[in-house]
Amino acid sequence: MSNRKIKITDELGIEHYVPIEEIKPSFIVSPDLNKKTLSKIKKIHSKIKDVLDKETPKLAVLEQFELLFMRNIDPELEVGLWKKIIQSYQIAQKIFGDDFEIRCLIFRYLIINIVDGFTKEEKKRDDIKAINKIWKEILKNEDFSADLNN
């Protein structure tokens, strides 16, 4: 059992830290993804499939990965977020290397960073600071059109 928690903000704007084990997936609100969106999802998935195999095996299956987008009222927003994740992942690879274990750490750090899941002590580590810096720089660019062809 993990002791990791995710920071959430409730409907009153109050922040809470919830154990990851208590987070449940939401309902599917966009069951019919258009071909263009599905194509983008497939490209995103192909960039990280090998890492997903190790880190979150369920999401390594394309159809399971697609469910992430179906749970969003605006699947294109979710596509935009994942494009930013891929862009950050690719930049971090150039900095830290292309070794499989390194790529798995980069992916894990990005996801934990996005949900603000690092402890105060972890946030002081140089590798985590670097990932956080990359993510913040990518977010400054409001264009959600990362190049999925590289």
Q: What is the pLDDT at residue 17?
A: 83
pLDDT value of position 3: 75
Contacts 24+ apart (CB under 8 A), 110-117: 110/85, 110/135, 111/85, 112/4, 114/85, 115/6, 115/7, 116/6, 116/7, 117/4, 117/5, 117/6, 117/7, 117/20
96 is written with which tokens?
């830290």
Quote the pLDDT of residue 14.
73
Q: Output the pLDDT for position 143.
A: 59
pTM above 0.85, yes or no: no
Domain boundaries, the chain: 5-140
Per-residue pLDDT in tens (0 to 9) along the chain, 150 residues: 567 787 777 656 677 788 877 777 678 888 899 999 999 999 999 999 999 999 888 889 999 999 989 988 889 989 999 999 999 999 999 999 999 999 999 999 998 888 788 888 999 999 999 999 999 888 887 655 445 665
Amino acid (one-letter) located at 132: N
Please give the pLDDT value at position 131.
Answer: 92
